[in-house]
Amino acid sequence: MNASPLPLPEVLISEVGPRDGLQSIARVMPTADKLRWIDALHAAGLREIEVGSFVPARLLPQMADVAEVVAHALTLPGLTVMALVPNLRGAEAALAAGVHKLTLPVSASTAHSLANVRKTPLEMIEALRSIAELRDERAPGVRIEAGISTAFGCTIEGRVSEDAVIRLAAQAIAAGADESGLSDTTGMGNPAQVKRLFTRLRAEIGEHAGAAHLHNTRGLGLANCLAAFEAGVRVFDSSLAGLGGCPYAPGASGNVVTEDLVFMFEAMGVRTGVDLPRLMRSREVLQQSLAGEPLYGHTPQAGLPLGFVSA
């Protein structure tokens, strides 16, 4: 469609702020602001955005307008429009709305899975199977991602078996997911573990290995992303201004900050396709719409280094 003269990005930054960020904040961002924000992210060069989740509005009023947000995002050229679905019913609505990609959280920790979606991990695999069948029937072009959450540890169970994580990812692919990534939902991961698990994941499911969704809870977000990159991962979830992802306290954000992640890769000479100054300016939407909400990110505060050249 677009025979762009620009070299292709070497990593894909998958922005999760409009879903993961907004669902962690009590107040509801007005739909018009969501659309402005998504437009700004797209204009900065982001090509995959998780725009919302298809969950009952009584549970997450922040996501009540998700179909409208999806409809707008679908008009942006070259953008992969993603949404989270917790179950078959959510998947039906998401497919009806026309999303390009579904993501389903499958927790490796039974305790977390029950607390989060009231299903065991294997029940989630069965839900995934039904969703994949529905997709095959109604919209075979739509991709399904299974994000293995609590893959690096659980706040309820503590350590999570690495074998169980890898087995679950393989089961997700066998049940019909196109890709399976690993999520450090609780910010417990470390670079050695991240490298080991993603290496095992690629050995187990090959090209179906999906995104690294890593958190900055203990400050290791970027170090963990670097470790994942070294293990061959090329898709990274992150959130503008580090919005969302279970923040514990000011300064201890949850999600990896998109601005810092893009800075790291571009400074290393790894192309992200993202215009960093423009990305940083897109924080203005958040500053206006979520005034008072803590916005994270070191690079936006320090500015780009003198003589900085993007990759």
Residues with catalytic function: 246
For 305, what's the count of Cα atoms within 13 Å in the CB-facing half-sphere? 9
For a copy of itself, the closer CB: 165 or 226 = 226
Q: How far is the CB of 136 from a copy of itself (least distance, A)?
A: 39
Q: What is the smallest separation between the CB atom of 122 and a copy of itself, expressed in angstroms?
A: 23
Least distance in angstroms from the C-beta of 237 to a copy of itself: 16
306 is an interface residue for a copy of itself by CB under 8 A: yes
Q: Which of 224, 128, 206 minimizes the C-alpha distance to 166?
A: 206
Q: At closest approach, how far in Å is the CB of 270 from a copy of itself?
A: 8
Our finding on whether 193 is near a copy of itself (CB under 8 A) is yes
Nearest by Cα to 258 from 247, 246, 243: 243
Positions 125 through 164 that interact with a copy of itself (CB under 8 A): 153-159
Among 23, 185, 186, 272, binds a copy of itself (CB under 8 A): 186
**Between 54 and 263, CB nearer to a copy of itself:** 263
Does residue 292 bind a copy of itself (CB under 8 A)?
no
CA distance 277 to 152: 33
| Locus of tokens 């994270």 | 296
For the chain, the C-alpha Rg in angstroms (whole number) is 18
Please tell me whether residue 216 binds a copy of itself under the rule CB under 8 A.
yes
Our finding on whether 296 is near a copy of itself (CB under 8 A) is: yes
Q: Which residues, numbered 13-42, are part of the site for a copy of itself (CB under 8 A)?
A: none
Q: Which is nearer to a copy of itself, 167 or 218 (CB)?
A: 218
Which parts of the chain fold into alpha helices (H)?
A: 22-23, 31-43, 66-73, 88-97, 110-117, 121-138, 162-174, 191-205, 221-230, 258-268, 276-281, 283-289, 298-302
Q: How many CB atoms lie within 10 A of CB 7?
A: 9
Pairing, β 48-53 against β 80-84: parallel
Count of residues that bind a copy of itself according to CB under 8 A:
48
Structure tokens at 279: 């990305």
What's the half-sphere exposure (Cβ side, CA atoms, 13 Å) at 163? Answer: 0
Asked if 255 interacts with a copy of itself (CB under 8 A), we say no
Residues 261-290 binding a copy of itself (CB under 8 A) are: 263-264, 267-270
Give the residue from 11, 131, 116 showing the smallest Cα distance to 83.
Answer: 131
Which stretch in 9-17, 88-96, 124-132, 260-268 sits in contact with a copy of itself by CB under 8 A? 260-268
Nearer Cβ to a copy of itself (100/281)? 281
| Interface with a copy of itself, residue 188, by CB under 8 A | yes
- Tell me which stretch binds a copy of itself (CB under 8 A): 1-9, 119-127, 198-206, 220-228: 220-228
CB proximity list for 163: less than 8 A, separation 6 or greater: none
Closest CA to 294 of 3, 25, 15: 25
Q: CA geometry: angle at 233 spanning 256 and 169, to 5°?
A: 95
Q: Does 251 bind a copy of itself (CB under 8 A)?
A: yes
Q: Which residues in this chain contact a copy of itself in the complex, by CB under 8 A? A: 153-159, 186-188, 190-193, 216-220, 222-223, 225-227, 248-252, 257, 260, 263-264, 267-270, 296-299, 301-303, 305-308
